[in-house]
Amino acid sequence: MAVFWDYLPALLAAWGIQLVGVMSPGPSVALLLGVGTAQGARAALLTCAGIASGSIILSLSTVLGLTVIFAQLAEAMLVLKLLGAGYLAWLAFGAFRRAVSPPPPPSPTSVRASATRLARRGFLLQVTNPKAIFFWIAIASLGGLAAAPWPVIAVFVAGAFLNSFIGHGLWGLVFASPPMRRLYLSGRRWVEGALGAFFAFASYKLLTTRI
C-alpha cells in the first residue's frame, strides 16, 4: 500500500492530462455527436466502450515507452499520421454520404446487431487519433510510471479506461438526449455535412502539419 501512495502524484497527473484530452472537443467527440444524435444512447455508449478500449492500448504504450519512441522516429510518426488522416477521411466520406442520402433512423434491433461495429469504430478512431496520442506523449514526458510495479500499472490502465469511458460517455449521453436527437432529425443533412467537413478538415490538417 505504501508503494501505491508513492506513485499517487504521478497517477493523478497522468489521469488529469488524459481527462483534459477527453473533455476537449476533437475527432472522438465529433464521432459521438454523429452516433449519439443519430442512433441514441446505447450506440453512443458502445462507441465509448471502443474508445476507452483504445485508451488501454495507449496507456500501456505510455508505460512501455512506445509513445516516446514514436515521437522520436520520423518514419513511425509518418505512418501514424497517414493512418490517422486516412481514417478521418473515411469518416468524412461516410458523413457526407449520409448528408446526401440520410438513412432512416435505425431500430433498436439494428443498433444491437451493430454493437461490434460501433465499438470497433470507436477503438480504431482512438488508436489512430493524433490528438489522443499527443496527449499520451505529454503524459509519457512526465515519467514516474515506467518503473512502477505491475499493480500500480494495472491501476493506471484501469483508471485510464474509466477516465475515457466516463468522460466520453458524458459527451455521448448529452448528444443522445431527446432535445439533441430532435435537433438532429430536424436538420440531419446539415449535421452530417458539418461532421463531414470537420473530419475532412482534420484529415487535411493532419496531412499538412509537420509533426
Structural domain boundaries in the chain: 30-208
For helices 41-64 and 130-142, give the axis angle rounded to 10 degrees. 40
pLDDT for 75: 64
pLDDT for 46: 94
Model confidence at 159, in pLDDT bands (50, 70, 90)?
very high
Q: Is residue 205's pLDDT more than 60?
A: yes
pLDDT for 113: 47
pLDDT for 13: 85
- pLDDT tens for each residue of 89-114: 877 887 788 777 766 655 544 445 48
Torsion of CA 55, 139, 149, 5, to 10 degrees: -110
Three-class SS of residue 145? coil
Rounded Cα–Cα distance for residues 211 and 189 (Å):
34
